Amino acid sequence: MKRILLCDSDLLTKLSDEVPSNKMRQSLVQGLIKGYKLDELCEIIDVEPIEYKRLTLYHDMDFIKQLILDRKEIDQQSENHEVISNKISEVFDLIEDLVDDEVDAKDDELYGLSHDCYPFPFMKYYINLTAASTIQLSERMCEYIKSQHQQQFQSKIIGLNFYGGRHHGSKSKASGFCYINDINLGISTIRKNLPNSNIFYLDLDLHYGNGVAEAFKFSQKVTTCSVHRFDVGFFPNAGSFEESRTGAYNISTKRGLNDESLKWILEEVVLNLIKKHKPNFLIIQVGCDGLATDVHKQWNLTIKGFNKVIQNLINDIDRSIPIMILGGGGYNNAETAKCWTHLTNFLLDSNFPKDINDFQNEIPEHSLLDYYENDGYKFWTETNSNPSKMHNENTIESLQEIKEYLLSL
């Protein structure tokens, strides 16, 4: 038996569409999942606002106050200002604000709210619901885990939150398009609800999951492992495998990482680390900026290859371990939507198609179908079905060196 939970919120979708780095991405993601009716096979977590004070479970209060500063002039820049404003009035009606007259926009840069994380319309509400999505998914999963322990039966619990996965934010600073670190809030929520939990966090984004690694580097109950592109000057300019320590592992790769190399890494390194630390909760961040179709052009992964590796990992670990899957990077919006929809289908083992590696190629009729016009309204195209001609600089010798180093810690 398998229980799949999926976070969904019309308001959070609209708010996420305002994020400068991911304009309209969330509507494409949620829209394609619903277009294939995969949401009907999931238990929906209808994300609701939380008190802003709950964000201090990880973040500093002064940082939160800066994030939720009223910025009405910026809010009015949204093309959907009236629609979103009306929805916010309904949804946030009973949520207490944190008003502080001393907070001023002139301090934005101190908190990282400039450059790649500049303020955008309705940011304070996006912050709230993004944090709430991972917190509430964590709480629901913990409830089911406790219930199963009491009733002595086991079903596979998988939680999906493609709003989340913001892995660069620190306690008091936004960074790398990440205004808040929902992952750390989720981990802290799990630890609060299940004090004996032993959590393994796996980051598959192109970029190093520094915000999570830094937060738990001294924890005995949280293991972090990040597979990422590493090079001098490549954001966040950290995360070499030599910087690893027991419980905080960096699998730093070179340009051109392909499906075969990622499969080798997960089978030869990550699975061994999971067996070593014996977690009873697994969190996977599945950023799509490593796809060959992404604008970064640094890795050479395909949708099928990436998702098959994730599926294999899930199949290879103890079925009793609950798994939370979070979004992250991905800057080709249509391809990110396809990747996460395909992954959702993988995890559901839905009735179509019979071969889970395949997928209905005609994208179903839905409100955002026109966004796929350049793809001929097809799911699979020549571009996303195959890797590019990028050279894979990750040799078996270089990967073997990383493996030997990390498994010796």
What is the CATH number for 301? 3.40.800.20
User: What pTM was estimated for this model as a whole?
Assistant: 0.96
The reply to whether 270 falls in a domain is yes
3-state secondary structure of 111: helix
Task: Provide the domain limits for residue 205.
Answer: 2-45+136-407
The reply to whether 106 falls in a domain is no
Quote the CA–CA distance of 159 and 323 in Å, as a whole number.
6
Report yes or no: 335 and 294 within 8 Å, Cβ to Cβ: yes
Q: What is the pLDDT of residues 278-323, one digit of tens each?
A: 999 999 999 999 999 999 999 999 999 999 999 999 999 998 899 9
Q: What is the pLDDT of residues 120-166, one digit of tens each?
A: 999 999 999 999 999 999 999 999 999 987 776 678 999 999 999 99
The reply to whether 108 falls in a domain is no
- Buried b / exposed e along 40-73 (16+ C-beta atoms within 10 A): ebbeebebbbbebebbbbbbeebbbbbbbbebee
In this structure, what token pair is assigned to residue 335?
A: 């391809």
Report yes or no: 245 and 184 within 8 Å, Cβ to Cβ: no
The reply to whether 346 falls in a domain is yes
Secondary structure (DSSP) of 176-213? TTBSS-HHHHHHHHHHHHSTT--EEEEE-SSS--HHHH
Tokens 């499906």 sit at which residue?
259
Report yes or no: 390 and 300 within 8 Å, Cβ to Cβ: yes
Quote the CA–CA distance of 405 and 384 in Å, as a whole number.
34
The reply to whether 105 falls in a domain is no
Q: Is the pLDDT of residue 1 over 80?
A: no
pLDDT, mean over the chain? 94
- Residue 353 has what pLDDT? 45
The reply to whether 340 falls in a domain is yes
To the nearest whole percent, how much of the chain has pLDDT over 90? 90
How distant, in Å, are the alpha carbons of 12, 30, 89 from that of 39?
A: 16, 9, 27
Q: Is the pLDDT of residue 32 over 60?
A: yes
The reply to whether 244 falls in a domain is yes
In this structure, what token pair is assigned to residue 158?
A: 């998988």
The reply to whether 78 falls in a domain is no
Domain count, the chain: 1
